[in-house]
Structure 1
Amino acid sequence: MELTTAILLCLISCVVAGGIFGFVAFKLGVNYRKKVAEAEIGSAEEQAKKILNDAIRDADTKKKEAIIEAKDEIHKLRTDADREIKERRGELSRQERRIVQKEETLDKKIDNLEIKEENLAQKHKLADEKLEEAERIKRSQLDNLERISGLTAEQAKTQLLDTLQDELIHEKAVRISNYEQQLKDECEEKAREYISFAIARVAADQVSEATVSVVNLPNDEMKGRIIGREGRNIRAIETLTGVDLIIDDTPEAITLSCFDPVRREIARLSLERLIQDGRIHPTRIEEMVEKSKREVDQRIKAEGERAVMETNVHGIHPEIVKLLGRLRYRTSYGQNVLNHSIEVAYLAGIMASELGMDANIARRAGLLHDIGKALNHEIEGSHVEIGVDVARKFKENPQVIHAIEAHHGDVEIKTVIAALVQAADAISAARPAARRENLENYIKRLEKLEEIACSFEGVEKSFAIQAGREIRIMVRPEDIKDEKMVIVAHDIVNKIENELDYPGQIKVHLIRESRAIDFAK
């Protein structure tokens, strides 16, 4: 029992001791934690105070810097303001000085003006006095004149105006006559200048061509092969081409005859190819003719396009271009019509440019003026009528249509373009070597021209110049006086017209010259 009690007491003592020890340990832990917390709180407070102090110091520093910058800015603004105020004050001072100077100048001008006004008033007064005196003298002179002449002032004025009117009418008539003569001379000179300039600019090559097609043969045996058995080959050629083949005694040559130059060209190409190929029979002839037709059509188109490009004429209908190409195989008095048309286009365009007219319309009219010759073998009527119909059909410019219609004088010329085309056509056709003319006949015509001139009494020498377009005649001054030269020139013109055939016109130029010659010895 005692043991149990002792054990219990021991246990109780242990429990009590443990509790006391635990309490003491708890109390010590709490105190430690409290001290640690107090130490941390103190450290945080110190750090917070330090941060606060640093912030206060930084704020004071920035505040001082801001105050210093503000003071600097204020000082700068004040300095700028003072400088600006100083400049404005200086400008005001200068303006004040200028105003003062202007006022002084204005006062001087006013004083001078007052002096001038006084002088002017005095001069006006003197002038009025002079006018009154002149009026008195004029009245007295008029009275004397009326008394001497026996006419009143109105009657004298009427008589004077009538006399002046007669003199003015005569003077006006003389001046108008002089102006008309001067204008005529200037126009003729300008016309000659423009035409000669255009001719010099064009300077075309000789365009004379033969109108007969001749095919050369390698030998005379080829004639028989072309004729064929019982004439079948020659009949086939003539039927397919519409051309007559003339096979005569001419050695190694066959002549082609046809009114249509295009058909003649097709036949010529076909024959040349058949001769070169050597196989001549109706089937081969038909093939060659078709091939030649296609080639000629291509050439016609190419020639028309070439003419349009060379003359710089645009917007022409394709059918008219083809008709232009057909003119390549058309001749007029031996002159190729396409080359003639191109030359007329050049001449008309150049003269239009010199006159300030529309050169494009002039070139177009010159190029198309003979377009009717491409169809005059197929359609009835003159080439002028056919050309006008073609131009109207394809809606050409009215000026171009009128130029085509008037280029041979069939209708009256109404536009400058038509006149230029007519002149260019005459120039191109009449220039030497343009159209076929035998050289011997040409020389005989010049000799006949000089012979006619020399047949008149008083003529010393005569010279045919400009390809027979002008003849200059030197007369003896002792035989023919100045007043007789017009009559002699008229007689020579009449004799030339009656006895000589010539294209265009011939200018007869008489020259009378007197010379005095002496020798110093």
Structure 2
Amino acid sequence: MDIIIGVAAGFIVGGALAYLVWDKALKAKKNRIIGEGKAEAEVIKKDKILQAKEKFLQLKSEHEKYINERTSQLAKEENKYKQRETTLNQRRDELNRKTKEFETTRREVEAIRENLNTQLQRVEHKSEELDKVHRQHLEKLEQISGLSADDAKEQLVESLQEEAKTEAVAYINEIMEEAKQTANKEAKKIVVKSIQRVATETAIENAVTIFHIESDEIKGRIIGREGRNIRALEAATGVEIVVDDTPEAIVLSAFDPVRREIARLALHQLVTDGRIHPARIEEVVQKVKKQVDEEVIETGKRTAIDLGIHGLHPELIRLVGKMKYRSSYGQNLLQHSREVANLCATMASELGLNPKKAKRAGLLHDIGKVPDDEPELPHAVLGMKLAEKYKEKPDICNAIGAHHDEVEMQSLFAPIVQVCDAISGARPGARREVVESYIKRLKDLEDLALSYPGVLKTYAIQAGRELRVIVGSEKLTDQDTEQLSYDISKRIQDEMTYPGQIKITVIRETRAVSYAK
């Protein structure tokens, strides 16, 4: 029992001692945690205070910056208003000064006006006195002469008129006699001078072109299998190609120089390239046609530059370039127009007129011969209408239209152009009537066939002994082609005059084209 009590007492004492030790340790831990919390709180407090100070300094800096900017802006505004105030004060002072000057000037003007009124009154008074004296003198003269003033004036005017008429008639007769004696001489001198200064050699246009080749072997390639190449070339260009025994030469025959030139250039490219077949021929001919069109424009520009003519409409420049490939009575139209232009400038200078205008009218006087369409108008009238369309001056248009007397002459340039055109065409060797009539007959032949519906192209070949007519396969049948050939032949017999006989060949081709992609 005692043992139990001792053990219990030991447990109690041990528990008390353990509680005391645990309580002391707990208090020490509590005090330590409280100290750590206070230290941490102190650190946080210092950080927050530091952040607040930094924020305060930042806000203070921004505020000071804003205050400085506003102060600077206010200073600028203040300076601006001061400048405006200074300007307004200056203007006010200037206005006051001008107002004072105006008042002074107004007073001076009023004084001058009063002075003028006084002088005017004096002048009126003097004028009345002068009229009175004049009337008194007239009355004395009328009493002395026995005539009134109006009667005396009429007699004086009549005597002066008779004297002036007599002197004018004598002077006119003298001038007329002198003009009759010198006019022919002066006119001949001007014409001879003009011809001597600008006369050029004249080349007669031919209806054939010789195409030279390196060897006769190329002739066979140009002809092609069963003549298909030469037929394709003739159909594409409208030129008769004569391949005969002439060594190293092929003859291109056509009345139209443009067609001959296209055929010549196309043959040259085909022979140089070496690929000669119908498809290639059509491609090359189309390409050469574009080249010739470009050459026409370039020729017109060069001609205008050579003659010193500026400001021509592009369409007029193209028409001038087309003259290179046209002829008039066998005379090259461009060379003729250039010669007429130079003659006109020379004559205008001799007569004291504007040579540039005369030269312009001379160059354009035959543009009615090279239109894109063929209206039923004389070429002079057509040329005048083209010039008016492209804004040429009225005196130049009148000179173009009147150079064959189709319209009335209204300026001195018109007779100059007419005379120079006659001079250029009348010189020995300048023209050949036979060629012109021949070309006109072939052109009429082509136009006649082209007037039928369904006809695409017409070519007069063999010097007008054959007419080839190309029709659209979708527009006419084979039977229609036979009827068309007969109709054209009958109309040619009825309407045209021609030597020998004319063969009419109507060609109708059907082509199927597709592309492999």
Q: TM-score range by the shorter chain?
A: 0.3 to 0.5
RCO higher in structure (CA 8 A, sep ≥6): 2
TM-score for both structures, normalised by structure 2: 0.48
Larger Rg: 1
